[in-house]
A and B are shown apart, each in its own frame.
Chain A
Amino acid sequence: MSTTTGSTTTGSTSMGVELRGLTVRFGSTTALDAVDLTIPAGTVCGLLGRNGSGKTTMLSVLAAFRRPTAGAVLVDGEDPWENPRVLQDVCLVRESGDVLADLPMRENLAYVAGARPRFDADVAGALMDRFELDPAKRPDRLSRGQRSAFGVVVGLASRTALTLLDEVHLGMDAPSRYAFYDALLEEYVAHPRTIVLSSHLIDEVQRLLETVVILHRGGVLLTEDAETLRGRGVSVTGPAEAVEEFTAGHQVLSRQQLGRTVQAMIHGEVPPEAAARAVASGLELGPVDLQDLFVHLTAEGPR
């Protein structure tokens, strides 16, 4: 798996992203404020943030849906705005879907196929099956979840070097969401590309993520690879008294109890000796839950 940053060559299957001082304002509201960010090519990047943190705005700028107020946007080393070489390999799928609502999905797929050089009709057909979508149906006659699923079909079958998925799975029921996660991983393994996945469902998507970007109030709160981020804390599970003793003096992010067993998430590193003592005393240690960490970090974020 590539973790190379910066630009790649024409015809590549992964594109990196560089943002330098990216600012987007809507009147008096600043949606993104001088954001500097690098998203490495060939990774699955989770774009996390609370409502209004600027996720959709950032993705819209990357896909040239809108122009930034200030700053530089580089996708594969070039500004994507009105750039046919870059844009043909950038796909932003939004939950609302950008489709021809009154034409059958089959015609919508034909439209996309004519625009995307690497579109795979077999993958589209298989995903339509997986999500139980009838190509003869029109998008405006689908449920919210089915429309979301159709967006996923378009996004994955397009096989663009930079695939941006903006809360695409919100309308889906749990089986469809898990079918989406599986399809995403299968496609990513078979045809590596850069995938940016914006989501509120951190519990569900965290297993997919290699890098994590957390936006907060229009700025980047942190950007790290997922393993390093999980290393910012520890989950401790075991008898209540032992857990209480271990977590004393640590910042506890969350605590759940079932009978006499307690699971707590603590923020901060645990020295190896302390970890060894904890394991010896019957406690189970594991990586911190990203959602708990996210809630903690965004509650204490700057500004």
Chain B
Amino acid sequence: MSTHPVTLDRPTPRPRAAHLHTARHMVRGHLRLIGWFAVIALVVITVAILTRFAFGQPQESMAQFGRQALVWFPFSIAIGAVSSYLPVHVASGMTRRSYTAGVLLGTAVLTAGFAAGAAVVLLLERGVYQVAGWSHGISEWDPLYRSVTQVHLVLADHVALTGTAMVAGLLVGTTYYRYGPWVGTLSLPLTVGPLVVVLWVLPYLGAEHGWTVTQHLLATAAIIAALAGVFAVLIRDITVSTRS
């Protein structure tokens, strides 16, 4: 009789569901980290609001400035997903194809979660401001939304940003894993560049040329698709590092 009973999930049927298997574990495996991120974010936003209040009545959202955190934190998660999940996936008898599909699916789920979380935090903050009688303004120039009541635009904005960040993170992680630190670092302009474009160039072009939200989102989707395509090509024949 085992003194350390190992309670396991019901095995997932293979191989059709291999990508779902890795996607599910990727999401579940990051929940604790994301929980800590959420707690820290709420504390920081609360402290920011109180600090602002000390100097007078707040007129703008503090949570809106968390957009950068919702880019670079998921970006770092995605980088780690390559070195942590690729060897385990292949060593567990699954193909690189299913790894690519699984990680992209996991990325999509996490992106949706981050976007939904951002929308909830912004709406909660707006509720607090309303109770306090403060104005909940959006002062950043580049978001797709001008008020957090435009929930669909809030979601679209964060899906676009976080989605690009995560797929770019996968590409950065893959480049380092496949080619090593020198090529990984030297290729950063190519791997992170598209994220910079989505963050700062597209909003500028959109403002210059009067793009609609749909045009902006289509441009972002094309960039994400291109990043995902390069990621899939690099994974297709990647060697799992032999460290032992």
Interface size on B, residues (CB 8 A): 35
Whether B2 sits at the interface, judged by CB under 8 Å, is: yes
Contact status B244-A115, CB under 8 Å? no
Q: Which residue of B lies closest to A98 (CB)?
A: B91
Q: How far is the CB of B9 from chain A (nearest CB, A)?
A: 5
Q: How far, in angstroms, from A160 to B90 measured CA to CA in the complex?
A: 14
Q: How far, in angstroms, from A167 to B94 measured CA to CA in the complex?
A: 22
Contact status B14-A115, CB under 8 Å? yes
Contacts of B11 in A (CB 8 A): 113-114, 116-117, 119
Which range holds the interface residue count of chain A? 35 or more
Contact status B2-A167, CB under 8 Å? no
Q: A98-B91, A109-B8 are in contact. Are A82 and B97 (CB under 8 A)?
A: yes
Interface of chain B: mostly helix, strand, loop or mixed: loop
Q: A82-B95, A113-B11 are in contact. Are A128 and B87 (CB under 8 A)?
A: no
Whether B6 sits at the interface, judged by CB under 8 Å, is: yes
Contact status A100-B8, CB under 8 Å? no
Contact status B94-A115, CB under 8 Å? yes
Q: How far, in angstroms, from A259 to B72 measured CA to CA in the complex?
A: 72
Q: Mark B1-44, 1 if CB is under 8 A from A, else 0.
A: 01111111101101100100100010001000000000000000
Q: Which residue of A lies closest to B241 (CB)?
A: A65
Contact status B21-A114, CB under 8 Å? yes
Contact status A94-B29, CB under 8 Å? no
8 tightest A-B contacts by CB?
A98-B91, A84-B15, A125-B2, A115-B92, A94-B244, A65-B240, A114-B12, A96-B244
**A/B interface sample: 22 pairs, CB < 8 A:** A56-B242, A56-B244, A60-B242, A65-B90, A67-B237, A67-B239, A87-B15, A89-B93, A100-B29, A100-B88, A102-B84, A110-B9, A113-B8, A113-B9, A115-B18, A115-B93, A121-B8, A125-B4, A133-B4, A135-B4, A160-B93, A167-B244
